[in-house]
Structure 1
Amino acid sequence: MVEFKYSIFYIVLMFTISVGATAQQQSTDSLEKLLAEKSDTARVNIMLILGQEYARTNPHAAESILQRSISLSDSMNYKEGLAMSYMQIGNLKIITGEYELAYSNLIRSISLFRELGDVHNTAQALLDLASISNRLADYPKALEYASNALILSRQTEDLQIMAMAYNLMGIVYDNMGNFKSALTNYQKSLEIFSSENDRVGMGKIYLNIAIIYNKTGRKQDAENLLFKCVSIGQEFNDARLLSIAYGNIGLLYNEDGSYNKALEYYQLSLDMKEKIGDKHSIMISYINIAGANFQLGESTLALKNLNIAIKIGTELGAKRELIDAYEMLAALYEQRNDFPNAYRARTQQMALNDSVFGQDQMKYLADVEKKNAINQLESENKILRQKSIIDRLKIENNRFIRYYLLIGLAFAIVLIGLLVYQSTERRKNSRRLDEANHQLVAINEQLKFSEGKLAESNMAKDQFFSIISHDLRNPLASMVSFVRIMKRDYDTLSMEERQSLIDEFEKIVNRTGNLLENLLMWSRSQTGRLSYNPSRFAAHFIIDENIDLHEASIKTKQIKIELVPESKQAEIFADINMLNTVIRNLMSNAVKFTPLGGTIEVGYRINGNDCIFFVKDSGIGIEKKQQEQLFDLGQAHIRTGTASEKGSGLGLVLCKDFVEKNKGRIWLESIPEKGTTFYFSVPLASGNET
């Protein structure tokens, strides 16, 4: 049935494209004839229409016409034509993947549109900038541009721009993995397109929603929406909508294992994208085709298509898609046992990941510093304003004194009256001075409080950067050393030595991964970007899950693990991700400080309205004075484990923060050389939570 649909769609599509091409040729011929007859601004407007027409079939001709439009508009000081020409060239450069030129032309158009007071086209150009940032994986910037466009559209009640802004924000959230926010924005866009009976707009939203459905396992819903998009695309001869819909239908077949069928749709999508000339979309098609080739065992074809995709992606700077391409390339080389090339591909993939992550972090730190600088300037301005008031009062007071003394010397008769008046004025001024002094005292107290908070923040920041510079640098240096040893001495090492090096490398990678996870969670918690999302779940669930997670390290140290569950099943109401982090850190510490052949007990018990979890080990224990520093980042006591495992001191700080966010508390009992028991409490589910 699906194959039949495919054949019908293909026949209809070829017919509509043929008819559309004939009609377009007639349209452009008529416009070329008009262009020769018109002059001045009318000539510019015809050039803009021709530029739009040629953009679909002949980008080179379109750019040539638009450059002529710029020259003519500039010579006539026709700012409307100049702005529209820059924006159309920007859109053309997006299609051809020349993002720097696209950005510079769009910025020029925005400047002119703002000067002209053209809110609609200003918002449209901002959406084009958001599209560029999204393709370059600069998601914060993409959201900023789209949000600004949305604000402008609300001011003018421009429903078209509003719907496009919501759609683009949904795409960015989808790329960030935030499917809930993506669907919320898509729904808002769909409501607007539906109210305007804009079927092409609705088709684009259906397509984007189908992509999320596919990612979240709703395959049948995704397939229904995709074929709905194909129907709309054929009805309105929208090649771009059709090309993307066919590509995503190919993804559905690929995930179901129908790789030959997937290739048919991928190729159909690629053919249409090449006619459009959208390099970014072409690159995605080559990656998809390579994936199907790989699954069919056609490694040579897969390698060829991947190299084409990587070449295009490198030209465009499309980091997000290049990550996927290099990941597939590494898997392909590994299948061929070509480990040097596999290693190079993995290195490229990791470098791109680090690039995207590093940019976000630097941006975040820059924003924090900027906000601190603004707050500092505001405080200084308040002090300066108060000083200015005091100085003016002093000057006014002295002026009054000199004035009344002169009057007193000249007119002795009115001396008493003047003295009374002077005394009254002095009392008023005194009250003003007192009020100003009280304000200064209050401001000084506030500054002292802010200074204390800033000192605490700086201490936490110093510790944070200390962890990054020390605890990340050492394992990374170790990994580099292991790689160099393996590269240099691989042929001379015995199998046992190679395995030993690989095992040690795995430990370092796992430890570094756990540290990065804790650093990221702590950073998000401290900056308020980690949301608290409680739900009902069984208490034993997170215990079972984390025992499985630590199974390898438990077996390595021959540790006996004992579950001590409450006989009564307990449901708790808490954020499951936060509690997973707490249990994982406590169990990791227990394994770290328990000697070879030791014992760890994990369980929970019900105490009133609380569920108390505990992790008990038979390890080295903790001295009393050190126990008081365990949950303080600035005073964290870092120790090595019984097998020389290293830590950062951040895990227990994170545990305390997460437990308190879940309305609980954490404490411990420890006897040196006997062992340690960590407890933490969370509320039981009361039956009213949802």
Structure 2
Amino acid sequence: MILKPALILVVIINIISTHALAYQPAQSVNKLKAKLLAKGKQTDTAAVNILNTIAEEFYESAPDSTVHYAENAFAIANKLNYTRGKADAYVQLASVNNFRGQYAAGTVNYNKALQLYRSNKDQLGVSKAFMGLGSIQDYLGNYTVALNYYEKALAIRKQLGNQQEVANSYAIIGITYDNKGQFTKALDNYFKSLNIDLKLNNHLAAADNYCNIGVVMQHLELWDKAMDYFNKANALWLRLDDKQGISTISQNIGEVLMSQKKFNEANTYFQKALKDYLILGDQDGISLVYYDLGIVNYHLQKTDSAIFYLKKSLESATANNIQYNMAYAYEGLALVYNLEKRYSEAYAHALSAQKLAGKLQSLNTQADATLQVSNALAGLKQFDKAYEQHRLYTSLRDSLKNDETLQKFASYNMAIDFENSQRKAVVKEAQLVKKIEQQRVANTIYAIVIVIITIMMIIYYNAKRKQLKANAMLAEKNREVLEQAEELNGLNTLKDRLISILAHDLRAPLSTLRGMFTLLTQHDITPEEFAEMVPLVSGKLEHTSDFLDTLLFWINSQVDNITDTTKNFCLSDVVKVELETLQDQLKQKNITAINSVTTGHVVMADPNSIRIVVHNFLTNSIKFSHENSLIEIKAQVINGEVLFMVKDHGIGMSTDQLGKLFKRKVESQPGTKNERGTGMGLIFCKDLVEKYNGRIWAKSDLNAGTELGFALASASSVVENSPKLV
């Protein structure tokens, strides 16, 4: 059915006049409105497409306008029986539902759009519906389901060759991985999206990606990097007058300032963001900034205000079923109630946060919530339960720190690679401009040469030769600078990774010591109980200090090229020292270590470096051994080499795991009692052994055990007094 011409004209004029004073549209919207008016009495599908495009333009800055234009687009499309127009209108309405936390209505509208797109064989439309359905699942914390929808949409868009939509898919997938705490995967997708946006000069989408990258840097406590990306996003959003983006960046900058303990400045930014979110009706932003205001008021010692804002955050997140923000609010309230000694209320909120964080697979929120559960139980005098929760918190925090440390280095390197590629692109563009300018000059000279052939040909030839020589010299200098920069970056990366390993080895004993003192200062244990715990912790600290000295000595030898420390020493001395230091771990699993290494097994290497290798072999065997099992430690001399082996009878490895064992990228597996590691130990062992012309290997059968071994040159004679290991 066709609309009457007079009616369609009235509808169109009403749409435009209603919003002319309410909101100043962007230039692109003005052009679309002008085009719509120019159509006059025409009642074709083009009018529907224009209305839907205007609705999409208004989505973030004025969602009410999106609803208005989409509803009118649907009304016209329905009269015309225009399938694509109706589907596009459903998508616009669903996007506003999603924005306002109306997930049930959004799901219905996206599914209606999906059905219409499929009936019309519109693959791009199908991908839009998949993206929308995925975004709703993302808000509900169903990340696996969300990613499944996003991957379907991405596959369709790649097949269609639609680069802008591919970029949009990468950006949304990055957000979901960010929510899951998988920051490296998030950054990988953000940078893929940003590269496409920059090539297409899509500044609004580029601003979104700059902001998202800044958020990841903020999670990883790379504050300077975070602020760099936030400022890039803010500059674009201000230029484009994007209200949603401007409010988001205010909140993000406030969170960085709060992390830097600039609480008054942070509060100013949060208040500005809240004002903008309330105008826009952004429920996700509202609940999240209420949480930020609660935490910043707690730091400003305004307890009543802190509780008020945190309750508002929980109320908003619950009303809109934003589970991630609900977990944040519960944890924040538990923190404040514990500090106010309202332990029963703190315990209830902390349990709610802990349950939600587990559902959302958020290790960071789960660790924070577990700490609040422990503190609340201690306040309620349930010390055994408090101690168990504190042990769980320590385990979660160790796992989180290990993962965050590796992700921090990977993310930082990824950002550096992107910035380098951008600089190269700028240099390439400058070189192209230079070549064009040179060609223009050459053409001018050539025109003059036509008049004065002989003289100008000589001048041109000499000038060109000098120029080529200078360019060759400049290219050589650039190559040397790039090689030096690459070498320095390699050294910095090595140092950073080594520091992350040191941090992991120090964290456990320091966390234990901190926990003891916390319990003592809060009078949760008696001085006598504290005194009984001191020898055990002291022994762990002594071992940690000893092992730290060894690692620092090796780091200096790698980075600063200190004097060679290769010498003859007995492997048996190294094994005895490490077995003594690992007695606690052996006893915890009731593991028997059978040591058959003798004083006759003497090698040429640095004893402290080899001690690191032996330590890693033993800790790996303990980690993956079952309780009440055996570990065999043996050595033999064959063809001038000493072959050293540690064999356990634990869980073993698959062929695929074994093949990846000494690679640069290794995902650490949990032990038989859920022990965690960095995944870097055996990589360093390989470097250490090969430094002394040795070789390293691993043999394993799944569920049958693993043998780790190395071979070093045998010394010509037994060392009577091997050097003390430090």
Q: What TM-score does the superposition give when structure 1 sets the normalisation length?
A: 0.57
1:651 aligns with 2:673: yes
* TM-fit CA distance, 1:511: 5.9
1:143 aligns with 2:144: no
Q: Which moved more, 1:241-250 or 1:506-515?
A: 506-515
Whole-Å separation in 1 of the counterparts to 2:228 and 2:303:
32
1:329 aligns with 2:330: no
Structure 2 CA distance for partners of 1:226 and 1:155, relative to 1, 3 Å:
same
User: 2:225 — aligned with what?
Assistant: 221
User: 2:281 — aligned with what?
Assistant: 277
Structure 2 CA distance for partners of 1:110 and 1:168, relative to 1, 3 Å:
same
Whole-Å separation in 2 of the counterparts to 1:557 and 1:666:
40
Structure 2 CA distance for partners of 1:121 and 1:297, relative to 1, 3 Å:
same
1:505 aligns with 2:508: no
User: 2:174 — aligned with what?
Assistant: 170
1:267 aligns with 2:300: no
Whole-Å separation in 2 of the counterparts to 1:265 and 1:114:
45
User: 1:611 — aligned with what?
Assistant: 614
* TM-fit CA distance, 1:160: 0.5
User: 1:105 — aligned with what?
Assistant: 109
* TM-fit CA distance, 1:660: 9.3
Structure 2 CA distance for partners of 1:684 and 1:171, relative to 1, 3 Å:
farther
User: 1:462 — aligned with what?
Assistant: none
Whole-Å separation in 2 of the counterparts to 1:133 and 1:627:
48
User: 2:187 — aligned with what?
Assistant: 183
Whole-Å separation in 2 of the counterparts to 1:682 and 1:287:
53
Whole-Å separation in 2 of the counterparts to 1:195 and 1:659:
41
1:123 aligns with 2:127: yes
* TM-fit CA distance, 1:170: 2.0
Q: Deviations over 1:339-390 (max 9, x none)?
A: 222122112211212332499xxxxxxxxxxxxxxxxxxxxxxxxxxxxxxx
**Contact 1:150 / 1:165 at 8 angstroms: preserved in 2?**
yes
**Contact 1:630 / 1:652 at 8 angstroms: preserved in 2?**
no
Whole-Å separation in 2 of the counterparts to 1:28 and 1:509:
60
**Contact 2:174 / 2:189 at 8 angstroms: preserved in 1?**
yes
Q: Deviations over 1:19-66 (max 9, x none)?
A: 835989988987997899454645644553564466567655754664
* TM-fit CA distance, 1:321: 1.6
Whole-Å separation in 1 of the counterparts to 2:264 and 2:246:
20
Q: Name the SS of the counterpart of 1:91 in structure 2.
A: helix
**Contact 1:239 / 1:272 at 8 angstroms: preserved in 2?**
yes
1:446-525 equivalences under 5 Å are 498=381, 501-502=382-383, 504-509=384-389
**Contact 1:614 / 1:680 at 8 angstroms: preserved in 2?**
no
Structure 2 CA distance for partners of 1:58 and 1:18, relative to 1, 3 Å:
closer
Structure 2 CA distance for partners of 1:583 and 1:85, relative to 1, 3 Å:
farther
* TM-fit CA distance, 1:318: 1.4
Q: Deviations over 1:529-565 (max 9, x none)?
A: xxxxx98859988765554455559953844737486
Structure 2 CA distance for partners of 1:80 and 1:660, relative to 1, 3 Å:
same
**Contact 1:610 / 1:681 at 8 angstroms: preserved in 2?**
no
Structure 2 CA distance for partners of 1:56 and 1:550, relative to 1, 3 Å:
closer
1:341 aligns with 2:221: no
* TM-fit CA distance, 1:279: 1.1
User: 2:323 — aligned with what?
Assistant: 319
Whole-Å separation in 1 of the counterparts to 2:362 and 2:295:
28
Structure 2 CA distance for partners of 1:630 and 1:51, relative to 1, 3 Å:
same
Q: Name the SS of the counterpart of 2:614 in structure 1.
A: strand
User: 1:377 — aligned with what?
Assistant: none
Whole-Å separation in 1 of the counterparts to 2:59 and 2:615:
66
**Contact 1:171 / 1:208 at 8 angstroms: preserved in 2?**
yes
* TM-fit CA distance, 1:682: 6.9
Which of the two has higher C-alpha Rg?
1
1:2-17 equivalences under 5 Å are none
Amino acid at match of 1:195: K
Structure 2 CA distance for partners of 1:609 and 1:216, relative to 1, 3 Å:
closer
Q: 2:309 aligns with which of 301, 305, 310?
A: 305
**Contact 2:101 / 2:322 at 8 angstroms: preserved in 1?**
no
Say what the alpha-carbon RMSD is for the aligned residues: 5.2
User: 2:297 — aligned with what?
Assistant: 293
Whole-Å separation in 1 of the counterparts to 2:76 and 2:229:
46
1:88 aligns with 2:85: no
Whole-Å separation in 1 of the counterparts to 2:56 and 2:627:
76
**Contact 1:611 / 1:682 at 8 angstroms: preserved in 2?**
no
User: 1:590 — aligned with what?
Assistant: 587
Unaligned runs of at least 5 residues, structure 2: 1-20, 364-369, 401-492, 517-529, 559-578, 592-606, 620-624, 632-646, 653-669, 686-695, 701-705, 714-726
**Contact 2:131 / 2:169 at 8 angstroms: preserved in 1?**
yes
Whole-Å separation in 2 of the counterparts to 1:684 and 1:186:
45
Structure 2 CA distance for partners of 1:267 and 1:36, relative to 1, 3 Å:
farther
Q: Name the SS of the counterpart of 1:20 in structure 2.
A: coil
Q: Deviations over 1:103-128 (max 9, x none)?
A: 22112212322332323333233223
Q: Name the SS of the counterpart of 2:181 in structure 1.
A: coil
Whole-Å separation in 2 of the counterparts to 1:297 and 1:155:
56
Q: Name the SS of the counterpart of 2:204 in structure 1.
A: helix
Q: Name the SS of the counterpart of 2:187 in structure 1.
A: helix
Q: Name the SS of the counterpart of 2:301 in structure 1.
A: coil
1:243 aligns with 2:240: no
Q: Deviations over 1:437-475 (max 9, x none)?
A: xxxxxxxxxxxxxxxxxxxxxxxxxxxxxxxxxxxxxxx
Q: What TM-score does the superposition give when structure 2 sets the normalisation length?
A: 0.54
Percent identical residues: 19
Whole-Å separation in 2 of the counterparts to 1:683 and 1:87:
62
Amino acid at match of 1:164: N
Whole-Å separation in 2 of the counterparts to 1:606 and 1:177:
35
